[in-house]
Amino acid sequence: MSDCLFCKIVAGEIPARITYEDELLLAFHDIAPKADTHLLVIPKQHIENLNDLSADDAELMSHLMLKLPVIARQQQLNGFRTIANTGKDSGQEVFHMHFHILGGEQLPGF
């Protein structure tokens, strides 16, 4: 999607502090961290959010979920919180699906 911020990061048109990349995924530091370590994990493919998924995405989503702890461990996170805001009412601001990984400190109760 040409006007999507995260598609531009995938395309290398906007810089990001990338920590992990493979053929399907990208992980990078959030520009406004809400914890000591705050990463975003995104599919390279443009998918708006969880509501946009179909059965065709099963392999991608299983890959993504299995990589979350790998990506967290690369940042020496023992425990971490994962958040995926879905839709405007949830507070989603960037409509390219992303999983927040928060950690590196004792997080407040949720």
Please report, as ranges, the residues that interact with ligand AMP according to CB under 6 A.
5, 14, 16, 30-32, 40, 85, 91-94
**Least Å from the CB of residue 68 to Zn ion:** 19
Known active-site residue 98: yes
Using CB under 5 A as the binding rule, whether residue 4 contacts Zn ion is answered as yes
Tell me which residue of 76, 85, 82, 96 sits closest to 19, measured CA to CA. 76
Contact of residue 96 among Zn ion, ligand AMP, none (CB under 5-8 Å per partner type): Zn ion
Contact of residue 86 among ligand AMP, Zn ion, none (CB under 5-8 Å per partner type): none
Q: Which two tokens stand for residue 78?
A: 């023992």
**Least Å from the CB of residue 107 to ligand AMP:** 15
Encode 29-65: b = buried (16+ Cβ within 10 Å), e = exposed: ebeeeebebbbbbbbbebbbbbeeeeeebeebeeebe
Contact positions with Zn ion (CB under 5 A) in 60-89:
none
Residue in 29, 96, 98, 100 annotated catalytic: 98
Using CB under 5 A as the binding rule, whether residue 46 contacts Zn ion is answered as yes
Residue 28: partners with Cβ closer than 8 Å, 6 or more residues away: 9, 16, 17, 18, 19, 39, 40
Neighbours of 101 (CB within 10 A): 25
**Site residues (vs Zn ion, CB under 5 A):** 1, 4, 6-7, 46, 96
Active site residues: 98
